Structure 1
Amino acid sequence: MPDHRFPDGEEFTSYPLDELLTPLPPLRPPDDFAEFWRETYVELTAPAGEVRIERDCSAGGRSIELISFRSSSGGRVLGWLVGPGDRQPVRRGLVISHGYGGRELPDPLQVADNAAAIFPVAPWLPINAGGLPGSEHVLIGIGDRYRYAHRFSAADIWRAATILLQRYPDAAACLDYRGGSFGGGIGALALPWDDRFRRATLHVPSFGYFPIRLSRRCTGSGEAVRQHLLGHPEHRPMLDYFDSTLAAAEISIDVQVSAARTDPAVDPRGQFAVYHALAGTKRLVVCTAGHAEFPGEAEQNLAVESAARRFLAADDVDELPPIIEL
């Protein structure tokens, strides 16, 4: 187990597995939680308007296009459409989000030969014009649930799915979602309200279980929120609408969560809380650490990728082990 500490010696976010496998007390959502998100879906899932091909980046026999489209936030955002070669039929579709570092390029290795995928970049994050670090992005619109950045980031997942299916309509029969860290939390917020998705994998998902997320300092965006609330405690109730644990309880599709036992940026208890809250069939991959360098990190990343591909490709996820410990 890697030893991660703050400069003053305080240990952070490292917990025994048996504690993490014990569900936390369930949280009570706001009374209009589901209503708020269903209204958001109706309002912001509208077609993304004109989709522009900014550059053809095709390589390795695959179609790869850098595109831009109208974000739910009002501006234009970038993404990549990745398709199979000319003669390969499309049997599956993927919407693949990213972490708080933004995205410079897509990863075609995450896309099976018979699949098409869209790699959207969330509004205000790097590669988009005016991209912000996560510590600033997480505060955009805070205090107003209708203006909060996460609302638009979730809505752009729906818009990205629409763009993918417009280009590759055969992918509608098998549309899946992949997201890690920021993308894991945003995916949990987006998935319950869009019945086009079949399965999802969430890697070290953020924004889970705010009573814990705000209880300790961290190296991620949660620290910016914690510090902000010291001066603006009146903004705390709004965050419950964006708790990925509360959203996970509304997800009925098959989901695999890969969660870390140690993580300096996203408290492991919040990651595991997302897994425990899932309402549908779920699978768990237990990682050594997240958001940190450690011996064996490369091997863990390969194992997580392999487990995700196996989960999404399985004919029946009930035949997969319920928990994989790396």
Structure 2
Amino acid sequence: MSSLVHDFPFDPSYGYTLDELLGVPAPAAPGDFAAFWRARHDEARTVDTEPEIGPLEGERDGLRIHGVSFTSVGGVRLGGWLALPAAGAAQQGFVIGHGYGGRQEPGPDLPLPLPRSAAILPCVRGMGGRGLQPGIPEEADAHVRHGIESRDTYVIGDCVADLWCAASALHALVPGLVPAGAAGTPRLGYLGESFGGGLGALALPWDDRFGAAQLTVPTFGNHPLRLTLRCAGSGESVRAHHREHPEVADVLRYFDAATAAAHLELPTLVAAALFDPVVPPAGQFAVHNALSGPRELQVLRAGHFEHAGLAGETEQLRGNRERFFGAHLG
């Protein structure tokens, strides 16, 4: 990785070789880890999401783009975007998570991996531009610590629930998709990068509406290791908080994306980077390594970092995504 010139005061490869990264494990789960998340999921599935479609905001990539709003746990009203086929009915749907900082528009998450698809692109609570909530900080370093004193108040758990409620809203708005509990193959896919990748790993093991997923440079993997690794992302804020409040390590055990990945059985494509100043690579690979179902890995030269090969890697990942979802969801 020495060919990647950077000015960070630490090595964003952290000295790991690919073979070493492929050996990074998930930490042991708390005894009630699965019960905790199943209870959170069951609560979210009872929410009447009352989705509303806004006016048409644009058309691109064979899709009509509308604003959308829906209700999540705690009665929180969130917004985002809904993408619908410009012609014909949707045959499958996608829930698309976003990175830390939220999203101001659908942006690079379109086009979708498969034709004849619909998608919901929610802004989870606290995140711009359509998820802002009173009392929840928008800035990533503060957001990632919000409610961290308890597993029941930590905002990350509610953000995971926002994804489940977004899936419910998509089903309500596009009734042609296979509903929960119906016979047939699940017709939802999940796409998430960075923050959205970590949230996806936490959300997907408990929700049978999804049939396949892609997690790109996922965060929140192997918290005990992350707490030892300096970074330029929100993890550094958690590290600083942990130094003053070491007891939060017990809370973080319930929000470890690698621990959750051990329960994730649906086909999953992971794109993990060898060099990443924002999300340490060891945590990304820990998520991939722990997956218990069919998995594929695309190794990226770097994540969260501009470099000469970025466009080529992005195009390769787009092709892999289309092939992968075509095989498992199409």
* Same fold, judged at TM 0.5 (above): yes
Please report how far the alpha carbon of residue 59 of structure 1 lies from its aligned counterpart in structure 2 after TM superposition. 1.4
1:235-283, Cα deviation, whole Å (9 max, x unpaired):
1101000000000000111101000000001111110110010000110
* Partner of residue 110 from structure 2, selected from 108, 111, 123: 108
Q: How does 1:223-302 map to 2 (within 5 A)?
A: 223-302=236-315
Counterpart of 2:47 in structure 1 is: 47
Q: Report the aligned-residue RMSD.
A: 1.8
* Partner of residue 176 from structure 2, selected from 156, 163, 170: 170
Counterpart of 2:181 in structure 1 is: none
* Partner of residue 215 from structure 2, selected from 169, 190, 202: 202
Counterpart of 1:19 in structure 2 is: 20
* Partner of residue 119 from structure 1, selected from 96, 108, 121: 121
| 1:258 alignment partner, SS class | strand
TM-score after normalising by structure 1:
0.91
1:150 aligns with 2:152: no
Counterpart of 1:321 in structure 2 is: none
Alpha-carbon distance change, 136 to 258 in structure 1, aligned in 2, over 3 angstroms = same
Aligned mates of 1:85, 1:143 — CA distance in 2: 46
1:71–1:123 CA contact under 8 A, matched in 2: no
Counterpart of 2:230 in structure 1 is: 217
Structure 1, 38-47 or 184-193: larger mean CA deviation = 38-47
1:297-316, Cα deviation, whole Å (9 max, x unpaired):
12211211221121111259
Alpha-carbon distance change, 258 to 112 in structure 1, aligned in 2, over 3 angstroms = same
1:192-245, Cα deviation, whole Å (9 max, x unpaired):
110110000000000000111110210011000000011111211010000000
2:148–2:248 CA contact under 8 A, matched in 1: yes
2:44–2:72 CA contact under 8 A, matched in 1: no
Structure 1, 38-47 or 159-168: larger mean CA deviation = 38-47
Counterpart of 2:167 in structure 1 is: 161
Percent identity of the aligned residues?
42
Please report how far the alpha carbon of residue 5 of structure 1 lies from its aligned counterpart in structure 2 after TM superposition. 4.4
Please report how far the alpha carbon of residue 112 of structure 1 lies from its aligned counterpart in structure 2 after TM superposition. 3.0
1:3 aligns with 2:9: no
Structure 1, 75-84 or 278-287: larger mean CA deviation = 75-84
Structure 1, 277-286 or 51-60: larger mean CA deviation = 51-60
Structure 1, 43-52 or 256-265: larger mean CA deviation = 43-52
1:81-112, Cα deviation, whole Å (9 max, x unpaired):
111124x2321111111100211111431253
1:66 aligns with 2:72: no
Aligned mates of 2:173, 2:43 — CA distance in 1: 23
Please report how far the alpha carbon of residue 114 of structure 1 lies from its aligned counterpart in structure 2 after TM superposition. 0.7
Alpha-carbon distance change, 69 to 26 in structure 1, aligned in 2, over 3 angstroms = closer
| 1:259 alignment partner, SS class | strand
Aligned mates of 1:112, 1:25 — CA distance in 2: 33
Structure 1, 279-288 or 294-303: larger mean CA deviation = 294-303
2:113–2:318 CA contact under 8 A, matched in 1: no
Please report how far the alpha carbon of residue 16 of structure 1 lies from its aligned counterpart in structure 2 after TM superposition. 1.7
Aligned mates of 1:248, 1:113 — CA distance in 2: 28
Question: What amino acid is aligned across from residue 32 of structure 2 in structure 1?
Answer: D
| 1:171 alignment partner, SS class | coil
1:27-75, Cα deviation, whole Å (9 max, x unpaired):
2111110010011111223234322333321414532210111222542
Question: What amino acid is aligned across from residue 247 of structure 1 in structure 2?
Answer: A
TM-score after normalising by structure 2:
0.90
Any runs of at least 4 consecutive aligned residues in structure 1 with deviations exceeding 6 A, and if so which? Answer: none
Alpha-carbon distance change, 47 to 58 in structure 1, aligned in 2, over 3 angstroms = farther
Please report how far the alpha carbon of residue 167 of structure 1 lies from its aligned counterpart in structure 2 after TM superposition. 1.6
Alpha-carbon distance change, 70 to 26 in structure 1, aligned in 2, over 3 angstroms = closer
Structure 1, 288-297 or 39-48: larger mean CA deviation = 39-48
Aligned mates of 1:35, 1:238 — CA distance in 2: 15
1:89 aligns with 2:89: yes
Alpha-carbon distance change, 247 to 92 in structure 1, aligned in 2, over 3 angstroms = same
Unaligned runs of 5+ in 2: 179-185
1:38 aligns with 2:23: no
Alpha-carbon distance change, 48 to 180 in structure 1, aligned in 2, over 3 angstroms = farther
Counterpart of 1:129 in structure 2 is: 132
Question: What amino acid is aligned across from residue 157 of structure 1 in structure 2?
Answer: L
1:261–1:268 CA contact under 8 A, matched in 2: yes
Structure 1, 113-122 or 307-316: larger mean CA deviation = 307-316
Aligned mates of 1:234, 1:101 — CA distance in 2: 27
